[in-house]
């Protein structure tokens, strides 16, 4: 069975714990067989008219022992089953998250975060619940009827066969209903994943929702999702509850047959009343576990559906794997080279075509061009977030496909266009890439990125908690923390993707001073539009239409004219207009101050 085989991957280390739980459950079951048998013996003594003087005392002592043993076994059974379940849950969550971390960037571009969270947490919790209750209770649901039927066959095999008549019908119903139950619960898990994703997006994007007045529409999306989930789970319950009702009916028919036939045999003196009593009591216990098994089957179908979803994620293979012989170069030169690179995202139009440029060790290369020409894509190809379709990206003269990804990324610091900060403190976010950094190094990085300008004014300084995704900070402050994080990592290669896009002119100037110092001993790839960043580059590469249309120094490109020269003219014109506007506003303010006050 695929489900058992897959689940055994995580239960393999818990066989002893689960075995102990089942063993305790069997003791619990066996102790439950004792009281009816003791009462049967009392009835036999009554019919025979002979009983030993201390017989009742022994019966009472046996009952006390049976119930004490039963209570202890019940405790051990529950404790061990939950321990095993929590260990399985831990192993499954860690394995799933480790696997998700290994997946390439393109995997996350078309998946909703909430849906991944649902699989990583919700589906795993469903499996944990089955391990804690389903596995041991399934074992007991098999062991208890087996033990009782064995006792009944010893007492009277003809009546025992009669009691078994409904079992084949139950098995056939199970074979018909269980696949449908499993399918319906899979739909429920998908609905839950979708509504979780919608709620997650709504909470994460609350500011945009409020800014555009879309609260009613977002509420309607969530309400629609919950309504679909409600309808799906109600439909699943329609199937899931059928087995319990049918088994209850069939169990009743089995008991009726035994009472009818056994009662007649008792009245004719063919079997003793004590045997009929044991049959009636045991039959109630025999079918109760089977009824419970029908209820367990609901958990089983949920767990099977959730396990399918978990393993669908685990079965996704990364196309970015290290080669078996991948090794870090002994003395890398820390150059960056794009050699006739072609790249596209999935089945989209080509993003880069025959792109070639080189940054020697210690050089600063700037990529410029209109929006959507592939500048950020180039930044993502250096640390091998994606693989190129043709050509090669080399670091230190070595193809990035031929070196371990961990080594490659350990030697590259990146400042992304979209800043992501974690919900901890300013200190923990700066130290993210180098958690063992000293306070002196961390503060130096913070000063280099101008973080100290605002951090030291906060009540808790660098230990101030910044909220999820840095929500308590401005965009410029978030960007400066991101830059400080890259500074502290102190890698020989630096990639800056619009690193100053979210800061004002004054902060940009301070950051540029820091970047001047930072890039002197590093190979730097800069993606930017602002002249303050671009004109410092050793070479500027102009991308247009996914191709290199020009390359050279700032002065060379200006002399050639074309797109770069036009961009510089536009920026300089904008800068002059801002200066003139500021001067005009200042003059108006001065005139206002000099004007006499009326009255």
Q: Which residues contact residue 254 at a Cβ distance below 8 angstroms, ignoring those fewer than 6 apart?
A: 162, 163, 164, 165, 166, 283, 287
Give the pLDDT band (50/70/90) at residue 313.
confident
Q: Is the same domain home to 403 and 293?
A: no
Nearest to 368 by CA among 497, 543, 523: 543
Q: Is the same domain home to 536 and 494?
A: yes
Question: Does residue 435 or residue 357 have the better pLDDT?
Answer: 357
> Could you give the number of structural domains in the chain?
2
pLDDT tens-digit series, residues 467-477? 766 777 877 78
**Of 109-118, 205-214, 581-590, where does mean pLDDT reach its minimum?**
581-590
State the chain's mean pLDDT as an integer. 78
Query: What percent of the chain shows pLDDT beyond 70?
Result: 79
The first and second tokens of residue 187, run together, are 């739909």
Q: Does the pLDDT of residue 137 top 50, yes or no?
A: yes
Question: Does residue 180 or residue 345 have the better pLDDT?
Answer: 345
Q: Is the same domain home to 380 and 257?
A: no
Nearest to 18 by CA among 83, 94, 95: 83
33: domain CATH number?
Answer: 1.20.1560.10
Q: Does the pLDDT of residue 598 top 80, yes or no?
A: no
Q: Is the same domain home to 260 and 399?
A: no
**Is residue 302, in this structure, part of any structural domain at all?**
yes
Q: Which residues contact residue 92 at a Cβ distance below 8 angstroms, ignoring those fewer than 6 apart?
A: 10, 124, 127, 128, 310
Domain ranges, residue 451: 336-560
**Of 406-410, 531-535, 545-549, where does mean pLDDT reach its minimum?**
531-535
Q: Which residues contact residue 173 at a Cβ distance below 8 angstroms, ignoring those fewer than 6 apart?
A: 243, 246
Question: Does residue 36 or residue 327 have the better pLDDT?
Answer: 327
| DSSP 8-state assignment for residue 590 | H
Contact 391, 354 (CB under 8 A): yes
Q: Is the same domain home to 429 and 466?
A: yes
| DSSP 8-state assignment for residue 551 | E
Overall pTM surpassing 0.75 (yes/no) = no
Give the pLDDT band (50/70/90) at residue 599.
very low
**Is residue 274, in this structure, part of any structural domain at all?**
yes
Q: Is the same domain home to 210 and 350?
A: no
pLDDT tens-digit series, residues 366-386? 999 888 888 889 998 999 988
Give the pLDDT band (50/70/90) at residue 339.
very high
**Is residue 379, in this structure, part of any structural domain at all?**
yes
Rounded CA-CA distance 54/56 in Å is: 6
Rounded CA-CA distance 171/261 in Å is: 24
pLDDT tens-digit series, residues 77-113? 888 888 888 888 778 778 777 777 777 777 766 666 6
Exposed (0-12), middle (13-18) or buried (19+): which is 317, by Cβ within 10 Å? exposed
428: domain CATH number?
Answer: 3.40.50.300
Q: Does the pLDDT of residue 214 top 90, yes or no?
A: no
Q: Is the same domain home to 306 and 350?
A: no
Exposed (0-12), middle (13-18) or buried (19+): which is 598, by Cβ within 10 Å? exposed
């Amino acid at each position: 069975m695929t489900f058992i085989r897959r689940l055994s991957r995580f239960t393999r280390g818990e066989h002893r714990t689960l075995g102990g739980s089942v063993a305790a459950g069997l003791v619990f079951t066996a102790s439950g067989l004792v009281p009816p048998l003791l009462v049967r013996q009392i009835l036999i003594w009554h019919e025979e008219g002979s009983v030993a003087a201390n017989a009742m005392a022994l019966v009472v002592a046996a009952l006390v022992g049976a119930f004490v043993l039963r209570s202890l076994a019940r405790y051990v059974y529950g404790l061990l089953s939950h321990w095993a379940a929590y260990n399985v849950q831990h192993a499954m969550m860690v394995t799933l998250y480790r696997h998700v971390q290994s997946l390439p960037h393109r995997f996350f571009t078309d998946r909703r975060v909430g849906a991944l969270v649902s699989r990583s947490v919700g589906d795993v919790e469903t499996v944990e619940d089955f391990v804690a209750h389903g596995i041991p209770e399934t074992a007991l649901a098999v062991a208890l009827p087996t033990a009782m039927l064995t006792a009944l066959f010893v007492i009277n095999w003809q009546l025992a066969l009669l009691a078994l008549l409904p079992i084949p019908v139950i098995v056939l119903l199970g074979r018909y209903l269980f696949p449908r139950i499993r399918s319906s619960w899979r739909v429920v898990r998908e609905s839950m994943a979708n509504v979780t994703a919608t709620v997650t997006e709504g909470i994460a994007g609350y500011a945009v929702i409020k800014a555009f007045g879309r609260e009613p529409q977002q509420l309607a999306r969530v309400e629609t999702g919950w309504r679909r989930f409600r309808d799906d789970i109600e439909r699943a319950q329609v199937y899931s509850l059928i087995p319990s009702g049918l088994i209850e009916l069939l169990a009743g028919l089995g008991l009726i047959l035994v009472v009818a036939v056994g009662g007649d045999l008792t009245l004719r003196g063919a079997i003793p009343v004590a045997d009929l009593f044991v049959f009636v009591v045991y039959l109630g216990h025999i079918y109760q576990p089977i009824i419970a098994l029908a209820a367990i089957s609901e958990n089983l179908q949920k767990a099977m559906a959730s396990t399918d979803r978990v393993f669908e994620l685990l079965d996704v293979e990364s196309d970015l794997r290290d080669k078996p012989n991948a090794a870090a170069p002994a003395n890398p030169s820390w150059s960056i080279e794009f050699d006739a690179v072609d790249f596209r995202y999935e089945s989209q139009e080509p993003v880069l075509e025959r792109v070639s440029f080189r940054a020697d060790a210690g050089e600063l290369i700037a990529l410029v061009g209109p929006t959507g020409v592939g500048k950020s894509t180039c930044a993502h190809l250096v640390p091998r977030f994606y693989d190129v379709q043709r050509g090669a990206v080399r670091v230190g003269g070595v193809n990035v496909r031929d070196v371990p990804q961990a080594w490659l990324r350990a030697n590259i610091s990146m400042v992304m266009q979209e800043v992501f900060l974690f919900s901890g403190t300013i200190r923990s976010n700066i130290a993210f890439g180098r958690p063992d950094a000293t306070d002196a190094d961390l503060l130096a990085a913070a000063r280099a990125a101008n973080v100290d300008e605002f951090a030291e004014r906060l009540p808790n300084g660098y230990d101030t908690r910044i909220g999820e995704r840095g929500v308590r900070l401005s965009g410029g402050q978030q960007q400066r923390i991101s830059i400080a994080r890259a500074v502290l990592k102190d890698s020989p290669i630096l990639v800056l993707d619009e690193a100053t896009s979210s800061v004002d002119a004054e902060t940009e100037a301070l950051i540029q001073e820091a970047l001047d110092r930072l890039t002197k001993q590093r190979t730097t790839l800069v993606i930017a539009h602002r002249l303050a960043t671009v004109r410092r580059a050793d070479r500027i590469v102009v991308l247009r239409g996914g191709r290199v249309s020009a390359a050279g120094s700032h002065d060379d490109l200006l002399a050639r004219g074309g797109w770069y020269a036009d961009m510089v003219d536009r920026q300089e014109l904008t800068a002059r207009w801002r200066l003139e506007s500021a001067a005009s506003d200042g003059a108006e303010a001065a005139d206002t101050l000099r004007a006499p006050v009326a009255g």
